Amino acid sequence: DAKTTQPNSMESNEEEPVHLPCNHSTISGTDYIHWYRQLPSQGPEYVIHGLTSNVNNRMASLAIAEDRKSSTLILHRATLRDAAVYYCILSIMDSNYQLIWGAGTKLIIKP
């Protein structure tokens, strides 16, 4: 049973903002939302995580819906180096906060 739902792929133009959506309708109050990305031929790397409030860091912003059933990863100005598979992941308290990975969204950046 998938915990998160993401589009298989998205395209965006270089130097424009990118909004990557994620649905997690079965999330509970203690589950965290994480985003990782995986560049070609590399292991995944952490992007951002949050619980209830929106979060910002040097890489991206995470906008969490008020009911927490969805979230959006925002890349403010995409570059060609941001082309990767982006994973929206839950960590669930009942599973000792292990990361539950989905299939991810392949982000294609057009020059």
Partner 1 sequence: DVKVTQSSRYLVKRTGEKVFLECVQDMDHENMFWYRQDPGLGLRLIYFSYDVKMKEKGDIPEGYSVSREKKERFSLILESASTNQTSMYLCASSEQGAVREQYFGPGTRLTVT
**What residues line the site for partner 1 (CB under 8 A)?**
32, 36, 41-46, 49, 87, 91, 93, 96-99, 101-104
Minimum Å gap between C-beta 15 and partner 1 is 28
Select 63 or 92, whichever has its Cβ closest to partner 1. Answer: 92
Cβ at position 77, least distance to partner 1 in Å: 23
Q: What minimum distance in Å lies between the beta carbon of 50 and partner 1?
A: 10
CB neighbourhood size of 32 (10 A): 16
Q: Could you tell me which residues come within 8 angstroms of residue 58 by beta carbon, excluding any fewer than 6 positions away?
A: none
10/99 with CB nearer partner 1: 99
Q: Smaller CB distance to partner 1: residue 12 or 91?
A: 91
State residue 94 phi and psi, 5-degree precision. -65, -20
Give residue for tokens 């969490």. 64
When the beta carbons of 103 and 108 are compared against partner 1, the nearer one is 103
**Strand ranges, E, within the chain:** 9-13, 18-23, 32-38, 45-50, 55-56, 61-64, 70-75, 84-92, 98-100, 105-110
